[in-house]
Amino acid sequence: MPEVDATDARLLLALAEDPRASVMALSQRLGLARNTVQTRLARLESNAVLAPLDRRIRPEALGYRLGAYVTVTVVQRSLAEVSDALAEIPEVIEVTGLSGVADLLVEVVAKDADDLWRITEQVLAIPGVQRTDTALALRRFVDHRLGPLLQRAAGEEEAR
């Protein structure tokens, strides 16, 4: 993935503040040519710099009020198969490989405790899964954010 330069960072900050802004509005706001903004946005999208839009949707709005993190220990050399099987479970919203005792950190959402039980049973039933440990997410203190990093990349950090 290519690095984001200061102009890209300014463009991404402007998009974060107004996700529905038109290319023309962004070009006026940033003092860039419309074609420059359009080309940079196309490059950012094609290089997967921009995350999918569904990342902005809160699971609670879909009835999934319970969140949990499941650490998974996997049989050696089964990581790909286990990851593929986890991707088939709709309530699994993210899977991250770890170093240390556990191999995977799996973020799941559930409608309630019984639903979470069902999901963890599905995870345990995957061939290659040795052990799981589940921790309930009680409260989010800092939402997923990249604004401070974008500000730094855009050179705006000194202004604060």
* pLDDT tens string 24-77: 999 999 999 999 999 999 999 898 888 887 888 899 999 999 999 999 999 989
- Percent share of the chain, pLDDT over 70: 96
Q: What CATH number should be reported for the domain holding residue 16?
A: 1.10.10.10
Residue with tokens 């409260």: 139
Of residues 144 and 96, more confidence is placed in 96
Report the domain count for the chain: 2
What is the pLDDT of the chain when averaged over all its residues? 92
Does the residue 149 lie in any domain?
no
Does the residue 146 lie in any domain?
no
Three-state DSSP state, 131: strand
Q: What is the pLDDT of residue 142?
A: 93
Judge if 46 and 74 occupy the same domain. no
Judge if 88 and 133 occupy the same domain. yes
* 72-102 tens-digit pLDDT: 999 989 999 999 999 999 999 999 999 999 9
Judge if 77 and 100 occupy the same domain. yes
Judge if 82 and 108 occupy the same domain. yes
Of residues 107 and 146, more confidence is placed in 107
Does the residue 152 lie in any domain?
no
CA angle (144, 146, 151) in 5-degree steps: 155
Three-state DSSP state, 77: coil
Judge if 63 and 132 occupy the same domain. yes
Rounded CA separation 158/160 (Å): 5
Rounded CA separation 63/101 (Å): 33
β-bridge partners, 106: 70, 95
β-bridge partners, 105: 71, 96
Does the residue 78 lie in any domain?
yes
Q: What CATH number should be reported for the domain holding residue 132?
A: 3.30.70.920
**pLDDT band, very low/low/confident/very high, at 11 (cuts 50, 70, 90):** very high
Does the residue 145 lie in any domain?
no
* 119-137 tens-digit pLDDT: 999 999 999 999 999 999 9
Does the residue 34 lie in any domain?
yes
Judge if 68 and 103 occupy the same domain. yes
Q: What is the pLDDT of residue 159?
A: 47
Domain, as residue range, for 10: 1-50
